[in-house]
């Protein structure tokens, strides 16, 4: 059995070697994309463009504005002086947030009455808006505390804060979002390479009719499938190595856990992706269909359903169930656990089992459908 698998794998390698352009695409693009996207994918909101409408223009309001601009979060685009301009700045995206300071700020604050600073935020991008909202509240809170402290110090009263919140951030203290997103990028690039190359190489034989020749040979369907996908698993593993090295040097994406574990789990993931490719090739007859299926099954779900960008917990329950169609979901949990938290197998063995189930189901169904199809031909 093994020598037959080996023979098929050898044939496949030779064919690949002849297709220089494809090899170039497979090896060169993933690393290049990682470099470009590694810098692009982040949700770190800084330098929020603000416009300020200062009704009061007193020393206190200027103090407040200075305190805003001292942080790296806010960049002043312009001071504005009419209601109409507020609309203009938000409609035309000249500013992400307009801050309105009321004309009775000092009067009310010094006489111990409540006063509000208005923040008008462009909410089209809900996530960014939410973060701006947090910064806005924090900025007001900080200024308020400073002001109250000064006033109270003059009056000789101590400030009272019933609950002192002490937030800490583990694993990623500076809350850099790229650290979280780069593993997702790695997983996505790997699955797309594996699924598309495997599914196409199998369908190609169908389209050209050479699959019938293989069918009449003593090869069993399982041997054929294993032999055909073996080279691609190997290529993808090498690719994974390149990508990890690149992400280490470029983004300082250090691996906190064990490297061996990382490669072992990556291998399991690649086998899962390959079996997805095999499954697609079994159900499609032309490369066009295979490719369209591959993009709709591998590319978009690994982008959107895997937890790469969008947290799975926020999805409706039904969609949460559907997220299981992509092996990226499981691999991503493993990858993040090893890379970010540096934990061992005990933290993610269940994900490995899911991957195993995924592989078994696809291979079993794939082989059954393949056998049925080749009998009817």
Phi, psi (degrees; rounded to nearest 5) at 286: -120, 160
Nearer to other proteins (CB atom), residue 218 or residue 346 = 346
Sign of the CA dihedral 115, 121, 126, 132? Answer: negative
DSSP annotation of 16: H
Residue 292 binds other proteins, judged by CB under 8 A: yes
- The DSSP secondary-structure symbol of 324 reads G
Q: Does 128 bind other proteins (CB under 8 A)?
A: yes
Residue of 33, 233, 255, 261 that binds other proteins (CB under 8 A): 33
Under 8 Å CB-to-CB from 101, ≥6 apart: which residues?
Answer: 52, 53, 54, 55, 56, 61, 64, 65, 117, 118
Q: Which of 6, 7, 12, 37 binds other proteins (CB under 8 A)?
A: 37
CA angle in degrees (0–180, nearest 5) for 351-352-354 = 65
256 binds other proteins (CB under 8 A): no
Q: Tell me how far apart the alpha carbons of residues 118 and 97 are, in angstroms, rounded to a whole number.
A: 10
103 is an interface residue for other proteins by CB under 8 A: no
Phi, psi of 30, deg, nearest 5:
-55, -45
The reply to whether 177 sits near other proteins by the rule CB under 8 A is yes
User: Could you say whether residue 112 binds other proteins (CB under 8 A)?
Assistant: yes
> Among 14, 55, 62, 116, which residue sits at the site for other proteins (rule: CB under 8 A)?
116
Q: 66, 81, 103, 172: which one contacts other proteins (CB under 8 A)? A: 172
Instruction: Map the footprint of other proteins across residues 180-219, applying CB under 8 A.
Output: 180, 192, 196-197, 200-201, 204
Say whether residue 333 binds other proteins (CB under 8 A). Answer: yes
Asked if 50 and 93 count as a contact pair (C-beta separation under 8 A), the reply is no
CB of 4 to other proteins, least distance (A): 25
The answer to whether the CB of 263 falls within 8 A of the CB of 229 is no
Would you count residue 83 as binding other proteins (CB under 8 A)? no
Residue where the block lists tokens 């499981």: 330
Closest approach of Cβ 5 to other proteins, in Å?
Answer: 22
| Contact pick of 125, 238, 357, 364 for other proteins (by CB under 8 A) | 125
How are beta strands 48-54 and 97-101 bridged, if at all?
A: parallel
* 333 half-sphere exposure, CB direction, 13 A CA radius: 21
Q: How many CA atoms lie within 13 A of 366 on its CB side?
A: 25
Closer Cβ to other proteins, 222 or 299, answer by number = 299
Q: Which helix (H) or strand (E) holds 215?
A: helix 210-216
Nearer to other proteins, 120 or 255 (CB): 120
264 lies in the binding site for other proteins (CB under 8 A): no
Nearest CA among 352, 330, 186 for reference residue 261: 352
Which residue, 217 or 286, has its beta carbon nearer to other proteins? Answer: 286
Pick between residue 46 and residue 70 the one whose CB is nearest to other proteins: 46
Q: Is 118 in the site for other proteins (CB under 8 A)?
A: yes
Question: Hey, which residues between 139 and 168 contact other proteins (CB under 8 A)?
Answer: 139-141, 143-145, 147-148, 152, 155, 157-168
* 3-class state of residue 102 by DSSP: coil
Closer of 9 and 195 to other proteins (Cβ): 195
Total binding residues for other proteins by CB under 8 A?
Answer: 125
Provide the minimum distance between the beta carbon of 220 and other proteins in the complex, in angstroms, as a whole number: 25
| Separation in Å, CA 126 to CA 41, 49, 133, 242, 306 | 17, 16, 10, 36, 21
Nearest to 325, CA basis, from 289, 281, 271, 361: 361
Q: Which of 6, 13, 29, 365 binds other proteins (CB under 8 A)?
A: 29
**Segment near other proteins (CB under 8 A); pick from 230-238, 261-269, 332-340, 367-375:** 332-340
- DSSP, res 202: H
Question: Which of 10, 14, 47, 62 is in the footprint of other proteins by CB under 8 A?
Answer: 47
Smallest distance, Å, CB 97 to other proteins? 9
Stretch that binds other proteins, among 5-13, 90-98, 211-219, 238-246 (CB under 8 A): 90-98
Q: Are 72 and 45 in contact (CB under 8 A)?
A: no
Q: Select 222 or 343, whichever has its Cβ closest to other proteins.
A: 343
């Amino acid at each position: 059995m093994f020598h037959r698998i080996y023979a098929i794998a050898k044939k496949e390698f030779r064919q690949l070697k002849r297709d220089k352009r494809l090899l170039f695409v497979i090896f060169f693009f993933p690393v290049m994309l990682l470099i470009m996207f590694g810098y692009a994918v982040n949700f770190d909101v800084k330098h929020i463009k603000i416009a300020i409408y200062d009704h009061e223009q007193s020393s206190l309001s200027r103090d407040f504005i200075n305190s805003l601009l001292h942080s790296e979060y806010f960049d002043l685009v312009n001071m504005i002086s009419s209601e109409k301009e507020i609309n203009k700045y938000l409609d035309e995206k000249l500013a992400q947030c307009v801050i309105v300071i009321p004309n009775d700020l000092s009067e009310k604050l010094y006489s111990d009455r409540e006063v509000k600073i208005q923040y008008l935020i462009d909410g089209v991008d809900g996530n960014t808006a939410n973060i701006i909202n947090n910064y806005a509240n924090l900025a007001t809170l900080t200024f308020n505390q400073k002001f109250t402290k000064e006033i109270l110090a003059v009056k000789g009263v101590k400030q009272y804060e019933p609950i002192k919140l002490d937030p800490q951030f583990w694993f990623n203290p500076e809350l850099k979002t790229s650290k979280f997103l780069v593993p997702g990028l790695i997983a996505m690039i790997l699955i797309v390479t594996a699924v598309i190359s495997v599914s196409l190489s199998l369908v190609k034989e169908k389209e050209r009719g050479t699959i019938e020749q293989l069918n009449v040979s003593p090869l069993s369907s399982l041997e054929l499938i294993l032999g055909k996908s073996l080279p691609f698993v190997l290529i993808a593993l090498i690719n994974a190595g390149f990508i990890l090295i690149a992400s280490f040097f470029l983004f300082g994406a250090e691996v906190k856990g064990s490297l061996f574990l990382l490669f072992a789990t990556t291998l399991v993931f690649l086998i899962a992706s390959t079996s997805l490719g095999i499954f697609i090739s079994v159900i499609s007859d032309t490369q066009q269909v295979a490719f369209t299926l591959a993009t709709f099954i591998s590319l978009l779900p690994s982008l959107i359903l895997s937890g790469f960008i969008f947290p799975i917990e926020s999805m409706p329950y039904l969609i949460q169930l559907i997220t299981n169609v992509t092996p990226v979901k499981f691999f991503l949990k493993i990858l993040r656990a090893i890379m970010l938290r540096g934990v061992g197998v005990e933290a993610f063995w269940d994900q490995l089992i899911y991957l195993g189930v995924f592989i078994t189901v696809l291979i079993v169904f794939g082989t059954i459908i393949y056998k049925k199809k080749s009998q009817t031909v």
